């Protein structure tokens, strides 16, 4: 048994709060048991989630991508449950008629949506109204929930290190983990005082404000570049038909009408005005990775790690478990862009902390030399440029752009003053996002203090955090 983590329990302990008689290690792992024990022993008592809600139901079951619209009622999926609030960047929509037929799962501002598939997550509804998928749980606070708890505090608790352990404990399954409604209702929550909850709400709102500020700065960077490129006149309505010479069609080596629309031709002319391609401003990094050269662990970046703001996460992987797609190193300042479905704007700038990480073969790694990294990133994430990239994809299930096609995309010379403004906006966005993350982390730590020490100590800690953040924002 040496080297193994063992949990030894009496049969009575195994049966406690365990109607399904689960015996799996995920349910009885020491961190999960410790979290359950400390919450159920909270000095002011605890409740189970089911008591807090008048509605606790799974989202729409009978719906697929064919029902999605470009506008209508926002439709939430797991990828929209980020940072404790709804991430609207990759949101899709359903028609009003579909929404009305599934009105029982309608969510409104102030409701809470939980993940029930793959991993635990909770988000506050910040939209006026929306609907949600079968991979989530739609909830509304009961009279008791509204009187004793604040929605933001519940969300912060469920996303905290303790809350995530307790939610994870209730997930089960073989191929993909899932959370049943009955098990979700069992998750315990301490009866935090309203004074502490009010402070949690304040910090949560500060975090969301900083995240919105980050988004504004990113939009500012895109606006600066679009203005410099002259994109203003390219959004005209396309004519119903158009004619092209056979010489142009055969010269391009393709016959699809979308590529020869007046707008696309105007875009190509505009971006190609200086006769430059991506290959003229950035080279492809080809620093191959071999797992046998790594002793223990390495940091791995895959497509799903790219965030909608041009940043990217990474995870620690054991060298002997290296995915076959882990193929090349990345260095700080590199720009990663996904070859698959480029219309999703999945490009990112490698940070200092990620220098030496390994990325998936699904990326092309660009090393800018004639343009700044933030400018190249912003360029590759512009909607019109992503549309152009999408026109160069092949295959239907996983449409991907080739390295040759990406490097052959036109890019004009960009004034150094414009690049400086873009870089400043990106730095401000990064700083605001960091503030937002630190504030959410502060709520996590404060809840730990409240559980392990006292709510008074937790309040004092949060007062210090908000005072520091306010001074930084005002500076």
Predicted local confidence at residue 221, as pLDDT: 97
**Rounded-to-integer distance, Cα 200 and Cα 124, Å:** 13
Q: How many CB atoms lie within 10 A of CB 311?
A: 18
Predicted local confidence at residue 304, as pLDDT: 84
Least Cα distance to 278 among 357, 337, 218, 356 occurs for: 337
pLDDT per residue as tens digits for the range 193-202: 999 999 999 9
Of the candidate ranges 238-242, 338-342, 388-392, 446-450, the one whose mean pLDDT is the lowest: 238-242
Read off the pLDDT band of 367 (50, 70, 90): very high
Is residue 321 pLDDT above 80, yes or no? yes
Average pLDDT score, the chain: 89
217-419: CATH topology is Adenine-n6-DNA-methyltransferase TaqI; Chain A, domain 2 (3.90.220)
Take residue 102 and report the two structure tokens written for it. 């599934």
Read off the pLDDT band of 475 (50, 70, 90): very low
Is residue 8 pLDDT above 90, yes or no? no
Q: How many CB atoms lie within 10 A of CB 252?
A: 13
| CA distances in angstroms from 176 to 78, 244, 299, listed in the order given | 14, 50, 24
Give the residue-averaged pLDDT of 32-45.
Answer: 93
Least Cα distance to 328 among 292, 364, 381, 294 occurs for: 364
CATH superfamily label, 11-191 = DNA methylase specificity domains (3.90.220.20)
The dihedral through the CA atoms of 185, 190, 192, 196 has a sign that is negative
Predicted local confidence at residue 62, as pLDDT: 80
pLDDT per residue as tens digits for the range 424-457: 999 999 999 999 999 999 999 999 999 999 999 9
In contact, 328 and 290? CB cutoff 8 Å: no
Decide which of 397 and 225 is more confident: 225
Do 11-191 and 217-419 have matching folds? Answer: yes
| Residues 6+ positions from 435 with CB-CB distance below 8 Å | 207, 210, 469, 472, 473
Predicted local confidence at residue 257, as pLDDT: 63
**Rounded-to-integer distance, Cα 461 and Cα 119, Å:** 29
In contact, 342 and 386? CB cutoff 8 Å: yes
Q: Enumerate the domain spans of the chain.
A: 11-191, 217-419
**Rounded-to-integer distance, Cα 208 and Cα 84, Å:** 9
In contact, 57 and 137? CB cutoff 8 Å: yes
Take residue 97 and report the two structure tokens written for it. 């008629």
Locate all alpha helices (DSSP H) within 383-415, ordered by sequence. Answer: 383-390, 403-407
Is residue 132 pLDDT above 50, yes or no? yes
Predicted local confidence at residue 65, as pLDDT: 73
pLDDT per residue as tens digits for the range 330-354: 999 999 999 998 988 999 999 999 9
Predicted local confidence at residue 471, as pLDDT: 52
Read off the pLDDT band of 467 (50, 70, 90): confident
In contact, 28 and 37? CB cutoff 8 Å: no
In contact, 425 and 215? CB cutoff 8 Å: no
**Rounded-to-integer distance, Cα 265 and Cα 294, Å:** 48
Whole-model pTM? Answer: 0.84
Read out DSSP for 226-282? HHHHTGGGG-PPPPS-----HHHHHHHT---GGGGSHHHHHHHHHHTTT--BGGGTE
Q: Which of 151-160, 234-243, 459-468 has the highest mean pLDDT?
A: 151-160
Decide which of 163 and 250 is more confident: 163
């Amino acid at each position: 048994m040496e080297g193994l983590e063992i949990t030894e329990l009496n049969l009575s302990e195994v049966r406690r709060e365990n109607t399904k008689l689960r015996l799996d290690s995920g349910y009885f792992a020491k961190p999960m048991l410790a979290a359950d024990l400390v919450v159920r022993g909270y000095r002011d008592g605890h409740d189970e989630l089911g008591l807090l809600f008048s509605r606790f139901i799974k989202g729409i079951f009978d719906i697929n991508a064919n029902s999605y619209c470009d506008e209508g009622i926002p439709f939430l999926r797991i990828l929209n449950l980020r940072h404790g609030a709804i991430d609207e960047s990759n949101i899709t929509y359903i028609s009003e008629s579909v929404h009305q037929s599934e009105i029982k799962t309608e969510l409104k501002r102030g409701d809470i949506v939980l993940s029930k598939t793959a991993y635990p997550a909770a988000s506050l509804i910040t939209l006026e109204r929306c609907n949600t998928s079968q991979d989530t749980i739609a909830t509304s606070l009961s009279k008791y929930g509204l009187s004793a708890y604040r929605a933001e505090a519940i969300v912060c608790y469920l996303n905290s290190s303790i809350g995530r352990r307790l939610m994870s404990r209730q997930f089960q399954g073989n191929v993909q983990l899932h959370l049943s409604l009955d098990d979700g209702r069992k998750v315990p929550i301490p009866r935090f005082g309203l004074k502490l909850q009010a402070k949690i709400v304040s910090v949560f709102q500060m975090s969301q404000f900083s995240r919105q500020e980050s988004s504004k700065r990113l939009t500012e960077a895109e606006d600066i570049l679009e203005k410099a490129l002259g994109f203003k006149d390219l959004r005209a309505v396309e004519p119903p038909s158009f004619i092209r010479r056979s010489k142009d069609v055969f010269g391009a080596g393709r016959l699809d009408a979308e590529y020869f629309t007046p707008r696309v031709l105007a875009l190509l002319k505009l971006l190609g005005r200086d006769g430059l391609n991506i290959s003229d401003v950035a080279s492809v990094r080809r620093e191959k990775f071999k797992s046998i050269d790594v002793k223990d662990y390495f940091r791995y970046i895959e497509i799903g790690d790219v965030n909608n703001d041009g940043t990217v996460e990474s995870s620690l992987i054991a060298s002997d478990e290296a995915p076959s797609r882990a193929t090349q190193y990345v260095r700080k300042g590199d720009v990663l862009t996904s070859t698959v479905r480029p219309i999703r704007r999945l490009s990112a700038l490698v940070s200092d902390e990620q220098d030496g990480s390994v990325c998936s073969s699904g990326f092309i790694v660009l090393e800018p030399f004639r343009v700044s990294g933030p400018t190249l990133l912003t360029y590759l994430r512009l909607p019109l440029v992503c549309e152009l990239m999408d026109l160069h994809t092949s295959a239907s299930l996983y449409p991907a752009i080739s390295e040759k096609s990406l490097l052959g995309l036109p890019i004009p010379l960009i004034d150094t003053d414009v690049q400086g403004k873009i870089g400043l906006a990106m730095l401000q966005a990064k700083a605001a996002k960091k503030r937002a993350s630190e504030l959410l982390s502060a709520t996590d730590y404060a809840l730990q203090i409240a559980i392990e020490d006292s709510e008074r100590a937790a309040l004092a800690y949060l007062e210090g955090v908000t005072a520091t953040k306010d001074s930084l924002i005002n500076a």
